[in-house]
Each structure stands twice: as C-alpha cells, then as structure tokens.
Chain A
Amino acid sequence: MLRTRRVGRGLSMAVCAVLTFSFFTACSRNKTGSSDSITVGVVLPITGREGKPGQYQREGIELAIKQINQNGGILVKDLDKKLPIKEVFYDDTSDQAKSAAFAERAMSSDNVVAVVGAYSTALGEAESVMPDRYQVPWITTGAAASTIFNHGYQYAFGTLSPTNLLGSTTAEYLGTLVDQRKLTKGLKLALALENTDHGVDYGNGIKEWIQQHPGYFVVVFSENFDLGSPDFSGLLQKVKSANADIFLADAHLQDYITMHRQYLQSGMRHLMISYGARGPESDARKALGDGVDYIFAGIWWSRNLPYPQVKKFNEDYKAFTGHEPDSWYPATAYDAMRALAKAIENAGTLNKTAIRDALRKVQLNDSLLPGQTLKFGANGQINTPFVIVQNKPGGKVDIVFPKDAATGDSIAPTPKH
C-alpha cells in the first residue's frame, strides 16, 4: 500500500514534469511574432501520403519568402518601415486532425498575420473551420473543392480554381479533338472518381459540359473509388467491361500511380486517358516509365506556359531547390505567398481583418497562373483557366490546350504501343 502510494506520488510528479516541459516548449512558440518581422504560418504535409506535393508547395512558398525578403521585405505603412517575412512551418503529416490542429496553433498562438498551405481537399476541409474561428486570413494552395468555399467563410481564400472547371475543361478539350476530327462524335466515356468533394466536382464538370454539348460524348460508366486505396483492380475490371472509348479518372498522385500500373497490367487501352489533375509528375514517370506516355491532365499551372515570369520562376526555383518544378504544385503556393505579401502592403497594417479586406481586392498582374492575373472571387476562390498538358515520349510534356498557350499538338487517339 505504502509502495503504491509512493509510486502514485512519484508518478504525479513525473506527469507534472512532462506537462511543465511541454508547457514551456508550447509557449516558446508564442514568441514568434515580433515587431521586426511579419510572421506567416505555413501548414503543409511533408510526410505521409501527400508528402511529395506538400514538399513542392513548401518550396514554392519559401522561394517567394526568400525573394520578398531579398527585396527588403514588405512595406507596412502603419509602421513606416519594411519588414521581412518570418515563416512558422508545421508538417501536418497528411493527417486531417493534425492539419486543423496546426492551423489552429499557428492562428491562436504564433501571432501570425495569415496561414498559407493545406494541400489536398481533405486536409483543406479540416483546416477551413479555423480561419473564421480565429479571424485570421487563410489561403489554401492545394485544395480546390467548391464545398470549402460555399460555407460563407469570411477569412478563407484559395489559389486553385474550382475542380468542376477542371472537369468541364477536360470535356471541352476532348470536344476540340472531336471538332478537329481526331476523335469521332458520340464516343463513350468511363469515369472513375475519387469519392470526395474533389471527385464529385470533377464528375459534375464533365457531365455539365456533355449536357450543354449534346452528341459529343456519352457517359457509359461512372463509379467512385476510395482515396488512398491500395487496389483498383475491381474498379478497372468494371471499366473494361463497360467497353468505353475514353477513360477519365480523378485521382491523387499515389492513386494515379497505383491505378495506372494496374491499368497497364490489365492490358486495357482507350483512345484517350486522363487522371484529372495528375499526369506529368516525375514520380509517375519514374514508377511507370513510358507507360505514362500520352496521358493528358488538366492542371492549374505548367512550367511550359509562355510567360516571361514563368521562365524566371523556373530558373529561380531550380536554383533554389536543385530541381525543376514538378507539375503545378509549387506555382500556386508561390503565387499565394506573393498575393498575401501584396495584400499586406496594400493594407498598410498588420491588422488581420484589414489584410483579409485587402486580399479580397488584391490583383496579382504578373501571376504565374494561366491568364497571368490572380484575384480572389467573392467566395475567396480564384477562377483562372486550366491548361491541358499531355505526356509525350522521351519524358516531354506539352501544353496542348488552350490553343494560344499550346507548345505542341495533341496526340489523339493514343497510339498503340
């Protein structure tokens, strides 16, 4: 009994010690906000299933911060001086609860003026609750589902155009191939959609375009799949049985690689194939080699866009990270940080509501994104057009749509290997 009591007492002391240690470390982060810098929270996954794209987005943000700081920082009129940006970074480990927790931590205790990040719709949905709760502007660089932006949140912004636009652009691109007689009218589509808001929006975009343009395509198969599923063979068997001409899936990077590997193993072949916003990633080519040739993707940005600022970004990014920009990931994050910096400068203060108001009006005229102008809509989301890229043999990736940005011709239908 005496021993139990001693253990209990000692243990209580140990609990107190751990709590005290954690309290001090927790509070030490509170000192990040200071009068000689502007603190910005960055919450992204750099480990877990979204680790790769999250890392690319982090690089985009950090490049923007480096460049802004090299130019002396952001002029804050209220303080009558230029202040550098200080980043407080958290890895949410691709976990929704942690994503929301770290966004909350940054907003409530790190004295940040804004939080940037949230790669993927799933993580963005979890974080999106926090900005209005703490009245801190939040810019998601990697979540596009419209559901995030239709709750009337006042502090939520996003640098990805809505996913239903991705769906309609994909259908429109296929429609132009019909008009060019590379494909014929009335082709059958098979859709495999991620069972998230992202997938729903993508499917709706395609179906709406088809409804508005009767006769072009018919959807003969549409089924959802689990995000992060280890096996798609059952789904692909159904796709095969549907005897469709075109296969359109909406998948995240890991799912795209797994699904396309199984697609190739099944011996299937369609006239055209797409995995939504995934296609040109170097990881996919490393994993599947020339198996990814001729896949087309609708993406928010391409390094092949013919703008001088894109060319400069490509050079700066390579010098900063040692590798080329992979797909669209770093650009939307880079522009989010630049838009935020401009909004802070326009607001002339570090007041978060004033920065939110400035973000609503900000216009980035040298944006990297298609159309070269970034501005947030009434719901906080941008609405820049998508570009369609197609993988070509030898690791080449061409923009094939829209025509005025094209760097190469569409290869359609997919040639036989």
Chain B
Amino acid sequence: MSTSPAPLPIRLLAQWRTFAPSWMILAGLAVMPLLLSSPNFIRLLFVTLLWITTSVAWNLLGGFAGQISFGFAVFYGIGAYTTALSMNAGVNPFIAFLVSAITAAAASLLVGLPTFRLRGPYFAIATIGISEAVRVVMTNLSFTGGASGYRIVEHRAFRQLDHYYTALVLASIAVAFSVFISRTRFGLGLNAIRQDEDAAAGLGVNPYAYKLGAHALAAALTGMVGGVFSRYAAFIHPQGVFGFQTSVHILLMPVIGGIATIWGPVLGGVVFGIVEEQIIASFPEIHLFIYGSMLILIILVEPGGILGAFRKLLRRIHGRR
C-alpha cells in the first residue's frame, strides 16, 4: 500500500511551522535597528551578521564536505579589495559586491584545482600555504597600497542602516542557501564525501567536482562579506583582511557553534561577533583569559559545539519526562 503525500496546504503549514522561528528572528533583526537606533548596537549586529555569513559559508565546505580549509581569508581579502578598487573606480557598491563574489569564486577554483587533489591534513596545510602566499603578494602589491593599506572613498554620506540591511540580506541568503543545499542531492553528496570519500565516489558522487562546487559557493559568499566589510570600514589592510588570524576566526565560528549543522555556524557567528567584543569591552585586563577559557571549554568539553551541548541538554530533559 503506497502512502500519498500530504496535501499542499498541510505541507506548507508544516514548512511554515519549521521555519517560523527563523522568520521571527529575521523580522526581529529587520525591525530592531529602527526601534533602538543605537549606533553601537547596529554596528555590533552588522559585524555579527558578517561573521555569521562567513561562518555559514565556511561550513558548506568544512562542515558539509568535511574539507578543513585554513585559507578563507584569501576570499575575504579578495572580496574586500575587489569592492574597494571597484568603488574607487566609480562602480555602484552593490555591483561591486557581485564582482567580489565572482572574483572570489574564480579564485577558489585556482586554489581548489590543485589542493583538492590532497586530503585531510595535507589539504589543510596547503590552504595555509596559499593563504600566506597571497598575503605576502598583497603586502607588496603597489597598486593596492601594499602594506600601507587601501582607503575607500565613497562620495555620499555614511548611513549605517544601509550597511546593516545589506549584511542582513547577505546573512539571510547564506542561511537559506545552507538550508537549501542540505536538502538537495548536492548536499547529500557533500555529506557522503565527509563520511567516506572513496565510498561516495563508488556511489557515483564525483568528489573532486563536488568539492570544487562547494568551495566556489563558499568563496563567493565570503568574498561578498569582504566587500561589505570594506565598504563599511573605508580602510582595509592586507595584514587584516588576508591575515591568517582572519582564516582562523572564520574556521573557529562553526567549530564553536557546531560544525556540519545549519544553526551551529550561526550561533558561532553570534558568539564571535557579539560576545567576544563585549568581553573585550567589559574586561579589558582579562579578556584574553575569559574568552580563551570559554573557547577551550567549548572545544574540549563539547566537540559538537554549542549546538551539540544544547542537543544533549534537550535529550536529558526529554529523558526525564
């Protein structure tokens, strides 16, 4: 006896219920700046949304496909510089963001074509090497200002809300994209690669092409984030945007939140974007100790990240009932 799928209204209702909390958060984030008008809070949310986007982007490759890359600063930096150069050449910022995405995706192919022939730690080490090489090149490239950095001149008044909503749209696209991919054949293929690359190949998945695809999508999103950041900061520097520290930050967020999940990277972005700055601001003398201890605790005690801990807690609560 075959079961027929539920009627469309019921399916839509079920979908709506599943995504209702996400829509509520999105609506809250859209309205919040208008109600609060605190520039500092808007800035914090802006930065957090950018980190969430990079975290979700990295998770497409590092989480879903299990390819641990230490080289995402390359795409972040390329995006930042592409937007900066385009804007100074008179290009509309939103077109500049798209150009950044395309440039970063193209760069991801250049990086991915040789490095995806490597596996595990060899791949990770190769991405560190490429990231450092790009940083050194950018530090010595005169037309981008070299190590002195590059200033972006936008001939219009600074409006913080424009930047905020750009970041909000970008983060929403990234999360929606992540949800979408996780439910597609492509997402299942990435999942299979993470679990056993050879077995996945045996089942008809082309690991090389799948990894290149995930890498390009992640790079495009990261490149756009770099662009949005550079427009806001109005000054970028290779040591900052191409720095190894930036790669580590991008990798750390999904690890903190919960790798290979939809919401883990989002949580990681929130922790990194807001909590870290609040700790630095509130405890300037001991912030490294507090933040470092927090990270060590999360990584050692709960390898599944905050999301893993939360799931365990839920299981315990349900177990008691």
Judge if B134 is at the interface, Cβ distance under 8 Å.
no
Chain A minimum-CB-distance residue to B45: A19
State whether the Cβ of B148 lies closer than 8 Å to any Cβ in chain A: yes
Q: A101-142: contact bitstring with B at CB < 8 Å (1 yes, 0 no)? A: 110110011100000000000100110110001000000000
Q: Any chain B CB within 8 A of the CB of A197?
A: yes
Residues of B270-317 at the interface with A, using a CB-CB cut-off of 8 Å, are 270-271, 274-275, 277-278, 280-282, 284-285, 287-288, 306-307, 310-311, 314
> What is the bound-complex CA distance between A68 and B215, given in angstroms?
57
Most central of A11, A30, A97, A108 by chain B CB within 10 Å:
A11
- A11 lies within 8 A of B44 (CB): no
A129 to B25, CA, bound (A): 32
Report B82 CB to chain A, min CB distance, Å: 18
Q: Which of B2-10, B84-92, B108-116, B139-147 contacts A (4 or more CB under 8 A)?
A: B139-147
**Known contacts being A19-B274, A29-B40, is A98 close to B280, with CB within 8 Å?**
yes
Contact B237 A122 (CB under 8 A): yes
A6 to B306 CA separation, bound complex (whole angstroms)? 16
Is there a chain B Cβ closer than 8 Å to A79's Cβ? no
Complex CA gap A204/B203 in Å reads 64
A19 to B39, CA, bound (A): 16
Are the CB atoms of B267 and A11 closer together than 8 Å?
yes
Given A22-B278, A126-B237, CB of A8 within 8 Å of CB of B18: yes
Known A7-B314, A8-B263, A15-B267; judge A22-B275 contact (CB<8 A).
yes
B271 surroundings in chain A (CB, below 8 A): 18
Determine whether the beta carbon of B237 is less than 8 Å from that of A91. no
Q: Is the interface of B mostly helix, strand, loop or mixed?
A: helix
CB contacts (< 8 Å) of A109 on chain B: these are 38-41
- With known contacts A25-B282, A102-B281, A15–B18 Cβ distance under 8 A: no
Q: How many residues from B make CB contacts under 8 Å with A?
A: 52
Residue among A11, A47, A195 making CB contact with B263, cutoff 8 Å = A11
Whether B267 and A14, one on each chain, are in contact in the complex, defined by CB atoms closer than 8 angstroms, is: yes
Q: Tell which of A96, A98, A110 touches B237, judged by Cβ atoms closer than 8 Å.
A: A96
A195 and B140 contact, CB distance less than 8 A = yes
Q: Which residue of B lies closest to A47 (CB)?
A: B288
- B314 x A12 contact (CB < 8 A): no
The number of A-B residue pairs with CB atoms under 8 Å apart is: 150
Question: Closest CB of chain A to B112's CB: distance in Å?
Answer: 27
Query: At the interface, yes or no: A26 with Cβ under 8 Å from chain B?
Result: yes
* Chain B contacts for A133, CB-based, 8 A: 158, 234
On chain A, the number of residues with a Cβ less than 8 Å from chain B's Cβ atoms is 58
Report how far A174 CA is from B284 CA in the complex, Å: 43
- CB–CB B40/A108 < 8 A: yes
Report yes or no: A125 in contact with B158, Cβ–Cβ below 8 A.
Answer: no
* A288 interface residue per 8 A CB criterion: no
Q: Could you tell me if B274 and A91 are in contact, using CB atoms closer than 8 angstroms?
A: no
B284 touches A90 (CB 8 A): yes
Complex formed: what's the CA distance from A101 to B287 in Å? 16
Contact of B239 among A46, A147, A227 (CB under 8 A): A227
Q: Is B151 an interface residue (CB 8 A)?
A: yes
Render A189-233 as a binary contact track against B, CB cut-off 8 A, 1 for contact: 000001111001000000000000000000000001011100000
CB contact under 8 A between A22 and B21, given known A14-B267, A27-B38: no
Contacts of B234 in A (CB 8 A): 129, 133
Q: Is B233 an interface residue (CB 8 A)?
A: yes
Contact B21 A9 (CB under 8 A): yes
B126 at interface by CB-CB < 8 Å:
no
A16 interfacial contact with B, CB 8 Å:
yes
Within 8 A of A (CB), among B1-54: 17-18, 21-22, 24-25, 28, 36, 38-41, 43-44, 47
User: How far is it, in angstroms, between the C-alpha of A257 and the C-alpha of B277 when the chains are bound?
Assistant: 31
- What are the residues of chain B within 8 A of A15 when measuring CB–CB? 25, 263, 266-267, 270
Collect the chain B residues with CB atoms within 8 Å of residue A4's CB: 18
A-B contact pairs, 22 of them (CB 8 A): A8-B18, A8-B22, A9-B21, A14-B310, A23-B36, A23-B41, A26-B40, A26-B41, A29-B40, A89-B284, A90-B281, A97-B240, A98-B277, A98-B280, A101-B47, A104-B39, A125-B237, A195-B148, A196-B147, A197-B148, A226-B139, A227-B147
- 10 nearest A-B residue pairs (beta carbon): A109-B40, A12-B21, A108-B39, A22-B274, A195-B147, A129-B234, A197-B148, A96-B240, A91-B284, A25-B278
Query: A residues near B, CB below 8 A?
Result: 4-16, 18-19, 22-23, 25-27, 29-30, 46-47, 89-91, 93, 95-98, 100-102, 104-105, 108-110, 122, 125-126, 128-129, 133, 145, 147, 151, 194-197, 200, 224, 226-228
